A and B are shown apart, each in its own frame.
Chain A
């Protein structure tokens, strides 16, 4: 960084410090995603402020893309607008390594860091320091309609293969009644269709880069992945799948339009919730499919709370994070809203709690899915990066979104799989050269 920019940032720090002195009760600004679990956390704020009357909490709840954009620009320019930010497992290691986050090694004795699921904790740790505390974690799995499966005369194994998925999708599809055998993400975006496709490609033995960081879209494994996906979606998928993300598919599944849906494990609590879902009683779960190559097509993701280094209320922010990601918070949610609504996927102790296991029929499958993902060794062949459905390098988000647009266009029938892959290869090569790999 040049001196002038550092001077700019120094000046900010001074002004910020000036404000901090003037403030009475300390105010922390928390930026979070508008997902159900976070909205619930916002609703429980008073429990926190009752315990800590000296801390004021301000919420900024935004749609995921807007949030990411705002938080990223803020942290990259050292704006200091937020004291607690909600970030994914993709950002945490990169930002931690850049020293943009405060390390969270001292969240207090009650925090019990060893209780965190090892795979999740590992993804948030850089050089032995924890840079973000997991709020909820997820993997992906198969959710299917038990009634349709039965009517098709098939039985879903616990660990299906891709061939079985295709067979079942074909058997369940009933276009006249608007029932589509399989719903998958098609909407372009690194966190949308590329999250699914990257995870799926792992089970086909594909990878983004080889050990020399050469893009691999020209390899056969990727062609197999994309061909299989396109074939599945074109024949047995819903119309307009190229614009479907998590939400669109959730709405489809809840209204009974999907036979199977492979997506985030947190969706399980939505589709089994009788208030929102028309098919709540007819949902079964299975592990994400594989191809017998030793890797399943499931991802690993967590939404985490972290503190930007530019925050001027770091101690108060730590107090909040220690509260919101503790086992005690889980119990608070359970007592207020029931065990089925607690944020899942972060702590081992939750999956040893009989009350939770009784309330959440999908708990066991969630845990097994999460344990089946290995961020440090995601694909069949070795890779130089970490991340199951992403590559933890700063260039990934932009690159994968563009690649995602190509794949989405292929799904929409606007280009062939071959063209999509060769253009993806070109894009990736260009981008990686420019980034100096």
Chain B
């Protein structure tokens, strides 16, 4: 009897979870489906779900019009570059905050987070003038730096909370064995922190990939990532749902796939110290 109740319960919960899951995923599914329709089918009433003539025409048109690979490469370079640079700067800082806490550590952390609250558009002119002066408009270097700075507080925070969960005794033991500070970080901490670092890296790649203000206003050609690619399909004259869907699918597919494959790693460290 008890077993039957659990199975029944399981069926109900499974059904509920799947319905909600599919509902949440539906907009993405619909976009992907639409990308294989003709413009006329895309707005057909009543809407068609699977029973239509699948076509790759939209992808062909989009590829012909814009060099997808160049945008993709720029997106990858910006997201990965800014994240790695951020990690290099953040690891030592987070380490020292976690293992040598001072009175002001928490204040410093909160101050770092607060720098993220400066509204980007308010400082657009200052940043642009500085970049022009340095000859760095439309350069990946400048954007990698800016995206790194935007996400640095989050990176530091995530690493900090992760490091804090590493028991201090291990470090002391290592120190007893004569490990130097460098050894401590390289051979003791880093291996233990790898899962935390991995999830930090993933989250920040996602955030950098999706950043759409600076990447749009400071680039033209050489550094323009997929956010600019999307902006050339958003609302042209004429019917555009199918082409927009194709471009959208192309823009989100890489990061979606990365996210799905690495979701275990992502989830593991995505606690911000909230779970003890």
**A contacts, CB < 8 Å to B:** 5, 8-9, 11-12, 15-16, 19, 29, 31, 34-36, 39, 42-43, 58, 60-64, 66, 69-70, 73, 77-82, 245-247, 250-251, 254-255, 266-267, 270, 276, 278
Q: Which residues of B contact A42 (CB under 8 A)?
A: 65
**CA–CA, A254 to B240, complex, Å?**
13
**A247 CB contact (under 8 Å) in B65, B132, B228, B238:** B238
Choose among A36, A66, A254, A276 the residue that contacts B231 (Cβ–Cβ < 8 A): A66
Q: Which 9 A-B pairs rank lowest in CB-CB distance, beginning with the nearest? A: A15-B135, A61-B232, A63-B234, A34-B236, A66-B231, A81-B220, A58-B221, A12-B132, A62-B231
B135 near A16: Cβ-Cβ < 8 Å = yes
Output the nearest chain B residue to A58 by Cβ-Cβ distance.
Answer: B221
Contacts A/B (CB < 8 Å), 20 sampled: A5-B129, A9-B132, A12-B132, A29-B221, A34-B233, A34-B236, A36-B237, A39-B236, A60-B220, A60-B224, A60-B228, A64-B235, A66-B231, A81-B220, A247-B235, A247-B237, A250-B238, A251-B43, A270-B238, A276-B40
Instruction: Answer whether A61 and B66 are a contact pair too, CB < 8 Å, given A35-B237, A81-B137.
Output: yes
Q: Hey, which chain B residues are within 8 Å of A247, CB to CB?
A: 235-238, 240
Are A12 and B240 closer than 8 Å at their CB atoms?
no
Chain A residues whose CB sits within 8 angstroms of the CB of B135 once the complex forms: 12, 15-16, 19
Taking the closest CB of chain B, its distance from the CB of A196, in whole angstroms, is: 16
Q: How far is the CB of A76 from chain B (nearest CB, A)?
A: 8
B125 in the interface (beta carbon within 8 A) = yes
Asked if A62 contacts B232 (CB within 8 A), the reply is: yes
Given known contacts A12-B135, A42-B65, A276 and B236 CB-to-CB distance under 8 angstroms: no
The answer to whether the Cβ of B217 comes within 8 Å of any Cβ in the partner chain is yes
CA of A62 to CA of B235, assembled, Å: 9
Chain A residue contacts of B216, Cβ below 8 A:
66, 70
- Complex: A8 Cα to B137 Cα, angstroms: 14
Quote the shortest CB–CB distance from A200 to chain B (angstroms).
21
Select from chain A the residue with minimum beta-carbon distance to B216: A66
- A16 cross-chain contacts in B, Cβ below 8 A: 135
Bin chain B's interface residue count.
20 to 34
A255 touching B224 in the complex, CB below 8 Å, given contacts A12-B133, A34-B236, A35-B237 = no
Given contacts A39-B65, A62-B228, A70-B216, contact A77 B235 (CB under 8 A): no
From B39, B64, B129, B220, give the contact of A8 (CB < 8 A).
Answer: B129
Q: Which B residues have a C-beta under 8 Å from some C-beta of A? A: 39-40, 43, 64-66, 124-125, 128-129, 132-133, 135, 137-138, 216-217, 220-221, 224, 228, 231-240
A29 pairs with B220, CB closer than 8 A: yes
For residue B240, give the distance in angstroms from its CB to the closest CB of chain A.
Answer: 7
Report the minimal beta-carbon distance from B121 to chain A, rounded to whole angstroms: 10
**Are B228 and A63 interface neighbours, CB within 8 A?**
no
Cβ–Cβ contact A254 & B239, under 8 A: yes
Q: Tell me how far the C-beta of A208 lies from the nearest C-beta in chain B, rounded to whole angstroms.
A: 27
A70 to B220, CA, bound (A): 9
**A278: chain B residues within 8 A (beta carbon):** 40
- Determine the distance from Cα of A276 to Cα of B242 in the docked complex, in whole angstroms: 13
Contacting residue for A36 out of B129, B224, B232, B238, CB 8 A: B238
| Complex Cα–Cα for A255 and B42 (A) | 12
- Choose among A11, A31, A251, A266 the residue that contacts B133 (Cβ–Cβ < 8 A): A11
A263 to chain B, nearest CB (A): 10
B232 near A79 with CB under 8 A, answer: no
Complex contacts, B233 vs chain A, CB 8 Å: 34, 63
**Shortest Cβ distance from A42 into B: residue:** B65
- In the bound complex, residues from chain A placing their C-beta under 8 Å from that of B217 are 69-70, 73
Q: Is the CB of A276 within 8 A of B133?
A: no
Which of B220, B232, B239 contacts A276, CB < 8 Å? B239
B132 touches A8 (CB 8 A): yes
Decide if B43 touches A73 in the complex (CB within 8 Å): no
Q: How far is the CA of A12 from the CA of B133 in the complex (A)?
A: 5
Docked pose: A73 CA to B124 CA in angstroms:
9
Whether the Cβ atoms of A36 and B236 lie closer than 8 Å is yes
A36 → chain B, closest Cβ, in Å?
A: 6
Question: Contact between B220 and A63 (Cβ–Cβ < 8 Å)?
Answer: no
With a cutoff of 8 Å between Cβ atoms, the chain B residues found around residue A270 in the complex are 237-238
Known A-B contacts A34-B236, A247-B240, A270-B237; the reply to A79 vs B39 at CB < 8 A is: no
Q: How far is the CA of A9 from the CA of B64 in the complex (A)?
A: 37
State A175–B235 Cα separation when bound (angstroms).
Answer: 27
Q: Which residues of chain A are near B240, meaning CB under 8 Å?
A: 247
* A250 engages B237 (CB within 8 Å): yes
A250 CA to B124 CA in the complex, in Å?
35
Distance in Å: Cβ of A130 to nearest Cβ of chain B:
26
Most buried by B among A5, A12, A64, A250: A12
Contacts of A82 in B (CB 8 A): 220
- Residue in A closest to B138 when the chains form the complex, CB atoms: A81
**Which residues in B have their C-beta under 8 angstroms from that of A70?**
216-217, 220
Q: Is the CB of A61 within 8 A of B65?
A: yes
Least distance between A288 CB and chain B CB atoms (Å): 19
Which residues from chain A contact B40 at a C-beta distance below 8 Å? 276, 278
Given A73-B128, A250-B239, 8 more A-B residue pairs with CB atoms under 8 Å apart are: A19-B135, A36-B237, A42-B65, A70-B216, A73-B124, A73-B217, A247-B237, A276-B239
What is the bound-complex CA distance between A60 and B219, given in angstroms?
Answer: 10
Q: Bound state CA distance, A207 and B66, in angstroms?
A: 43
Q: Give complex CA distance A78, B137 in Å.
A: 11
- Nearest B residue to A264 via CB reads B237
State A77–B129 Cα separation when bound (angstroms): 7
Find chain B residues with CB under 8 A from A15 CB.
135
**B220–A34 contact, CB under 8 A?**
no
Chain A residue with minimal CB distance to B222? Answer: A58
User: Of A58, A61, A79, which contacts B128 at CB under 8 A?
Assistant: A79
A83 CB to closest chain B CB, in angstroms?
10
* Bound Cα distance from A5 to B129, whole angstroms: 9
Of A5, A73, A78, A276, which one neighbours B238 at CB under 8 angstroms?
A: A276
Q: Which residue of B lies closest to A67 (CB)?
A: B231
User: Taking A77-B125, A251-B43 as contacts, is the C-beta distance between A60 and B133 under 8 angstroms?
Assistant: no
* The one of A9, A62, A266 that contacts B237, using a Cβ cutoff of 8 Å: A266
Query: How far is the CB of B132 from the nearest CB of chain A, in Å?
Result: 5
